[in-house]
Structure 1
Amino acid sequence: MELQLLPLLLACSLFFPVTTPVAREITDPCASQTNDFQHLNSTGLHLTLHHPQSPCSPVPLPSDLPFSTVIAHDAARIARLTTNTPSVRPTSLHPDKNSGNLADSLAASVPLAPGTSIGVGNYITRLGLGTPATLYAMVVDTGSSLTWLQCSPCVVSCHRQTGPLYNPRASSTYASVPCSATQCGKLQAATLNPSACSTSDVCIYQASYGDGSFSVGYLSKDTVSFGSSSFPGFYYGCGQDNEGLFGRSAGLIGLARNKLSLLYQLAPSLGSSFSYCLPTSASAGYLSIGSSNPGQYSYTPLVSSSLDDSLYFIGIAGMSVGGSPLAVSSSDYSSLPTIIDSGTVITRLPTAVYDALSKALATAMSGAPRAPAYSILDTCFEGQVSKLHVPAVDMVFAGGATLKLAPGNVLIDVDDSTTCLAFAATDSTAIIGNTQQQTFSVVYDVAQSRIGFAAGGCS
């Protein structure tokens, strides 16, 4: 019986051209962005992290990507982060009869839940998979659990990616996962979609995202590697139908709080923590798994929420502009659950808090010419952030951890002549996005149930 995956109709697809490599001079401008950040600590894994629009990224997005596109995909991502209601779109797989025995059939079609939108805000690193190992450029996502990548023979569809597809037949340590395996039963929590079973008893995963993107394929295990460190028996998705807004990446690394995430699977060897510094497009950052200096950070506790226990929730306690606290009550800050997320670009604040922030910033910058609103960003100024005098803005979290925001963490350039406050109002769920996190070290200390912040992380 054939597997069939009814194609999901996507509103749009972003397939970005890869430029032909050009011979570089000895003074390679990207050489400084391949730092392994060993100065962080001698233990753990230290991976270079690239901004999605960095020219040094292995899979860069266009530098002239309209900011309206960023906002649109941000909205799709947030819609998923704030709801876990499944969709009713059915899926099934269809093999290529000439592709060999990896292709198999689903017993039935099932609904796909709309997972977190990948959008264009996620950062990029490299992961090695298989024996011998091959490196793949992967999206890093703290809002997703399952790690997956595109796999040959790609029986239905693969989006265009930089570099070759992962070939399970070329790895001596590859194994598919049977439907009876414990990990197969954990897919529902990891992806919000139930697992399915092929006619040859192979577990099938279905990861879907808020913008209509999705990956469907075989739950598998193989050796995952980062530099000289390798970890056998890593569970991941071997994608056979991968469609949507993944750029030219090979797939996605999931770092959410779930037993199938990369963090939890490596925890027995490295511990239950990871840290990162999200860089600007002009620099490089890092992703470090299992290594941090506790004394470096100021911490805020992780809090529980009924919204989604795989996400990272913290509490905002206060904000100030130019040293003056915003004119709102403490209950306004705590009125909504607050997620900290690596893939959302624009931070969402409770409406009362946002309104006070917008008013205070506009007053402090009264000498700067105002510009019209840009999409959801309604506090805008003429010029670029680097040319304007921007007041100090502090974000204080429960427990006293504070982000002292630089101008580039407060305003974001939306085009060549306009910069806007990189915050928006919400009445559902607040989100601390990546614009405010850029250049800070942020540690997710899951073992101690806390998030830590430190300045100067990417230097």
Structure 2
Amino acid sequence: MSWLQSLFQFLFLLYIFINGFSANHPIFVAANRSSAVHFEMIHRHDPTVLGEKILNRSESIKELFHVDKRRMEMIVAHYNTLPMERRRTTQVKGVKKGVGRTSHGNGKGVKGVKKVGVLGRDNSSFSLPIRSGSYAHLGSYFVSLKVGTPAQIFLLVVDTGSSLTWMDCKVKCLDPKQGTYCNRKVNPKKRIFHSERSRTFRTVPCSSNMCRQNFTQLMSVMECPTAKSPCAYQYNYVDGMSKGIFAYDSVTVTLSNGQKKKIHDMLIGCNQVWKTSNPIGLSNGDGIMGLGFNTHSFGPRVFDDFHGKFSYCLMDRFSDKRVTNYLTFGNRRREEMPSNMKFTELGLVGDFYAVQVTGIYVDGVKLNIPAEIWNFDKGSGMIIDSGFTLTSWVREAYEPIMNALEKPLLKHFRKVNNENFDSCFSVINTDKMGNEVAIDESLIPKFEIEFKFGVRFKAPVKSYFIYVDENVNCIGFVKSPDRDESGSHDYFSILGNVMQQNHMWEFNPFTNQLGFAPSTCELRHHHA
């Protein structure tokens, strides 16, 4: 290779690097004319961003099963730490002034932390762009988030099933006796939040009431080597654990008029230790953006200033990657919202967003499913979780749903075995060149979920009769684990992001409403 070719390659890579991480790149720039600030959500397997191996369908399915299983462990572990009164469906009792004005939720906060002023009077929304997973198959969606002063940029999973926003961190401290988190060695190939580079970073003392009382539902631990040691958290799994510390720092967003705005004193988790294989499928991502409804989580932290709601539209996972949409806090432009939005009641079970199911329909026929399995007061129910991939049903719902879908499918397709799904069929889903072809959807039974107030969610066929391999489609549902014999661990149904695709979803906990409507999720304009 000549020196001239080498020079051209170097200049090309330099251009990509500069434009890929510039503050003016479309990933980080919001709409000038919409009432939103935008964070770009990027599919976690997008090889153009994360540099990953491109997985085939079979490999992707195996991975997502592993990830969803681990995620179910996390959700259930958290749910079963809740006091009994918080395991029941509740609602937010009106807008609480100040719920988003301090990051601490008790009006006092940690010493040295000031209340924040109103962020959204003139620009009452901000958004984060979403990119399709056109090369990725199944998994979570990411946003780019700017943390610290000056800002450091991270790719985080958008997760309505988690309450803590965290990323891998390195914390420099002067006294090693303060804890094992000090001066951690890091992998130079991974994105790491360096706390010493942010002048707005500060930890939460483990001796504070904030740590000992307020953060207990965020898995804080009583470990306190010295009074000034930072408050730590630990999440345990069946075969491992993650551990880190709590801290406060600034997050930078772009308002709808293009102005940059710092949201001060946002609670973050600095993850220190992973002792598990393939931790919750983050792959080359950096952490989690927790949108669960906890006083200290990202959403409630900004709700008071941005109309108390957020929305997202997950496009088809195989859409062209140029198709974009947004995770939006506050009001979207009118033309971005479908005109046929339906609304049901949105509840809270602990930090999770819960929906009241009143019926399941296959080809218009209501299935005979016991009503009590949709009741959280009796240890079951359904949550909606953007970080969970497939849709999981408790056994009492799973069996009648699978039977009702399988019976008409057997009239048209031959059943085949699959190591991941219980009900798979031989279909023509690829042509001779190996390209995917559409199946005749008139042969597939229609599936609907009816929520409270009689509104029905009509899932796209491709979201529940899914392509898993060449000429093999499966009913893309999984069964939640059964309750253990002691009754100490409850399981519930989860509406995952595959079923949520091609719909707009709007969460408004302050009006106790969940809105949804079909959508291509393709914006007719581009936010610049």
Task: Specify if TM > 0.5.
Answer: yes
Say if 1:346 and 1:434, in contact at 8 Å, map to a contact too: yes
Alignment of 1:362 with 2:354, yes or no, is: no
Structure 1 residue identity aligned to 2:330: G
- 1:304 deviates by 5.0
Give per-residue Cα distances to partners, 1:324-383, cap 9 Å, x unaligned.
3335465565583111111222212243433333233223322122211433x2121123
- Separation in structure 2 between the aligned mates of residue 252 and residue 61 of structure 1, nearest angstrom: 22
- Separation in structure 2 between the aligned mates of residue 190 and residue 139 of structure 1, nearest angstrom: 20
* Higher RCO (CA-CA < 8 Å; seq separation 6+): 2
Give per-residue Cα distances to partners, 1:226-285, cap 9 Å, x unaligned.
343321111212233345423112222111111221112222332432211223333444
Alignment of 1:234 with 2:266, yes or no, is: yes
Structure 1 residue identity aligned to 2:341: Y
- Separation in structure 1 between the aligned mates of residue 35 and residue 209 of structure 2, nearest angstrom: 31
- Separation in structure 1 between the aligned mates of residue 251 and residue 478 of structure 2, nearest angstrom: 39
For 1:100, the equivalent position in structure 2 comes to none
- 1:319 deviates by 2.3
- Separation in structure 1 between the aligned mates of residue 231 and residue 77 of structure 2, nearest angstrom: 24
Alignment of 1:339 with 2:375, yes or no, is: no
User: What SS is found at the alignment partner of 1:408?
Assistant: helix
- 1:174 deviates by 2.0
1:141-290 alignment runs, 5 A limit = 141-152=159-170, 155-156=183-184, 158=186, 162=190, 164-181=191-208, 183-185=210-212, 188-199=215-226, 201-208=228-235, 210=237, 212=239, 214-227=241-254, 228-244=260-276, 245=279, 246-283=282-319, 284-290=324-330
- Separation in structure 2 between the aligned mates of residue 23 and residue 416 of structure 1, nearest angstrom: 39
- Separation in structure 2 between the aligned mates of residue 315 and residue 240 of structure 1, nearest angstrom: 38
User: What SS is found at the alignment partner of 1:319?
Assistant: strand
For 2:127, the equivalent position in structure 1 comes to none
User: What SS is found at the alignment partner of 2:300?
Assistant: helix
Q: 1:146 to 1:136 in 2, by over 3 A?
A: same
For 2:148, the equivalent position in structure 1 comes to 130
Say if 2:203 and 2:231, in contact at 8 Å, map to a contact too: no
- Separation in structure 2 between the aligned mates of residue 21 and residue 139 of structure 1, nearest angstrom: 27
Q: 1:61 to 1:455 in 2, by over 3 A?
A: farther
- Separation in structure 2 between the aligned mates of residue 224 and residue 435 of structure 1, nearest angstrom: 29
Q: 1:276 to 1:182 in 2, by over 3 A?
A: farther
Say if 2:143 and 2:158, in contact at 8 Å, map to a contact too: yes
Q: 1:168 to 1:82 in 2, by over 3 A?
A: closer
Say if 1:279 and 1:458, in contact at 8 Å, map to a contact too: yes
For 1:310, the equivalent position in structure 2 comes to 351
Say if 1:223 and 1:234, in contact at 8 Å, map to a contact too: yes
Quick check: which has more Rg, 1 or 2? 2
For 1:94, the equivalent position in structure 2 comes to none
- Separation in structure 2 between the aligned mates of residue 37 and residue 437 of structure 1, nearest angstrom: 24
For 1:438, the equivalent position in structure 2 comes to 501
- Separation in structure 2 between the aligned mates of residue 270 and residue 218 of structure 1, nearest angstrom: 28
Structure 2 residue identity aligned to 1:280: D
- Separation in structure 1 between the aligned mates of residue 343 and residue 449 of structure 2, nearest angstrom: 13
1:19-98 alignment runs, 5 A limit = 34=27, 38=31, 42-58=34-50, 62-64=54-56, 65-84=59-78
- Separation in structure 1 between the aligned mates of residue 47 and residue 63 of structure 2, nearest angstrom: 19
- Separation in structure 2 between the aligned mates of residue 455 and residue 59 of structure 1, nearest angstrom: 32
In structure 1, runs of 5+ residues without a counterpart are 1-19, 87-119
Name whichever structure is richer in helix by fraction.
2
For 1:372, the equivalent position in structure 2 comes to 417
- 1:161 deviates by 5.9
For 1:324, the equivalent position in structure 2 comes to 365
Aligned pair count reads 395
- Separation in structure 1 between the aligned mates of residue 423 and residue 30 of structure 2, nearest angstrom: 37
- Separation in structure 2 between the aligned mates of residue 242 and residue 161 of structure 1, nearest angstrom: 16
Say if 1:159 and 1:242, in contact at 8 Å, map to a contact too: no
Give per-residue Cα distances to partners, 1:294-323, cap 9 Å, x unaligned.
976322213354xxx111111212222233
- Separation in structure 2 between the aligned mates of residue 260 and residue 22 of structure 1, nearest angstrom: 39
- 1:128 deviates by 0.1
Q: 1:231 to 1:357 in 2, by over 3 A?
A: same
Alignment of 1:386 with 2:438, yes or no, is: yes
- Separation in structure 2 between the aligned mates of residue 192 and residue 243 of structure 1, nearest angstrom: 16
User: What SS is found at the alignment partner of 1:220?
Assistant: strand
- Separation in structure 1 between the aligned mates of residue 183 and residue 470 of structure 2, nearest angstrom: 44
- Separation in structure 1 between the aligned mates of residue 373 and residue 249 of structure 2, nearest angstrom: 48
- Separation in structure 2 between the aligned mates of residue 285 and residue 232 of structure 1, nearest angstrom: 26
- Separation in structure 2 between the aligned mates of residue 224 and residue 237 of structure 1, nearest angstrom: 13
User: What SS is found at the alignment partner of 1:172?
Assistant: coil
- Separation in structure 1 between the aligned mates of residue 53 and residue 301 of structure 2, nearest angstrom: 30
- Separation in structure 1 between the aligned mates of residue 187 and residue 503 of structure 2, nearest angstrom: 33
- Separation in structure 2 between the aligned mates of residue 398 and residue 409 of structure 1, nearest angstrom: 22
The alignment's TM-score, normalised by the length of structure 2, stands at 0.66
Question: Superposition RMSD on alpha carbons, in Å?
Answer: 3.4
User: What SS is found at the alignment partner of 1:126?
Assistant: strand
User: What SS is found at the alignment partner of 1:344?
Assistant: coil
- Separation in structure 2 between the aligned mates of residue 229 and residue 34 of structure 1, nearest angstrom: 16
